[in-house]
Amino acid sequence: MEDKLTKERVVTFLNRGEVDFLDKLGKDALFSSGLKLSRAKLIEWLVDLIKELNIDGANLKTEEDLKNRVIKSLPPATPACRNAEK
């Protein structure tokens, strides 16, 4: 039986701004929680989030298509949610 936790290596090409963004997320987490988050872990979590939102690839053609599907899948923001972020 195959181990369900087997990880696969994926090579991706990101521009400098995208890499800097992932690094900033990781550093923010490190300084606020003490937990070091790698770029790979952040990307893994983003993939898991999209899976959890049940987003599929049918008729997906552009980045904008994906963005719109993610936004439509999220519950509407409530005042309580916005206040919790502050």
Residues 65, 40 share a domain: no
Q: Count how many domains the chain has.
A: 2
Residues 48, 63 share a domain: no
Helices (H), 1-86: 16-33, 39-52, 63-73, 79-85
Residues 44, 29 share a domain: yes
Q: What pLDDT is stored for residue 86 in this prediction?
A: 53
Q: What is the pLDDT of residues 2-56, one digit of tens each?
A: 557 788 999 999 999 999 999 999 999 999 999 999 999 999 999 999 999 999 9
The answer to whether 69 touches 60, Cβ cutoff 8 Å, is: yes
Residues 17, 48 share a domain: yes
Residues 38, 11 share a domain: yes
Q: What is the 3-state secondary structure (H, E, C) of 38-62?
A: CHHHHHHHHHHHHHHCCCCCCCCCC
Residues 80, 42 share a domain: no
Residue 81 has pLDDT above 60, yes or no: no
Residues 42, 1 share a domain: yes
Q: Which domain holds residue 10?
A: 1-52
